[in-house]
Amino acid sequence: MEVRGPRREENRRLERHNTLPMLTKDDILASLQHIMDPEIRIGIVDLGLVYDVVIEDDGKKVDVRMTLTTPACPYGPMILTQVKDALDATPGIEEGKVSLVWEPGWNPQTMATEAARLKLGIW
């Protein structure tokens, strides 16, 4: 049975208000800000380990492309899991993916924020 009249218009208004705004790269980076590299004790975003965020399908699919400080990072699996968990906990994301990449190689002198470089002793 189709609802007509004012009630139908009210339902449409509610649908518009209940939709989430499309996620941006900054939104995703903010949701990852708390994830730290436990050896260095600096956030992965500030270290420059997150290379890119690809958002597709109106924000329902998100792929975080990132690296680690070294291929032998003993905390790598834990960090990748934390990133995936953060994506899964972000409202609106239906499919979160973490892609580990090694190119370009991580260089804190050019990829880390100024605050992170100071903590690392890089001027």
Question: What is the chain's pLDDT, residue by residue, as a tens digit (123 residues)?
Answer: 444 555 544 444 344 345 678 899 999 999 999 999 999 999 999 999 999 999 999 899 999 999 999 999 999 999 999 999 999 999 999 999 999 999 999 999 999 999 999 999 997
**Domain ranges for the chain:** 22-120
Q: Are 114 and 46 spatial neighbours (Cβ–Cβ below 8 Å)?
A: no
Token pair 């956030």 is at which residue?
43
pLDDT of residue 18: 52
Characterize the bridge pairing of strands 50-56 and 61-66. antiparallel
Taking domain 22-120, whether its CATH number is 1.10.3720.10 is answered by no
Question: Taken in order 99, 46, 83, 92, is the CA torsion positive or negative?
Answer: negative
Cβ-proximal residues to 118 (8 Å cutoff; 6+ apart), any chain: none
pTM: 0.82
pLDDT of residue 75: 97
Closest CA to 119 of 47, 70, 45, 49: 47
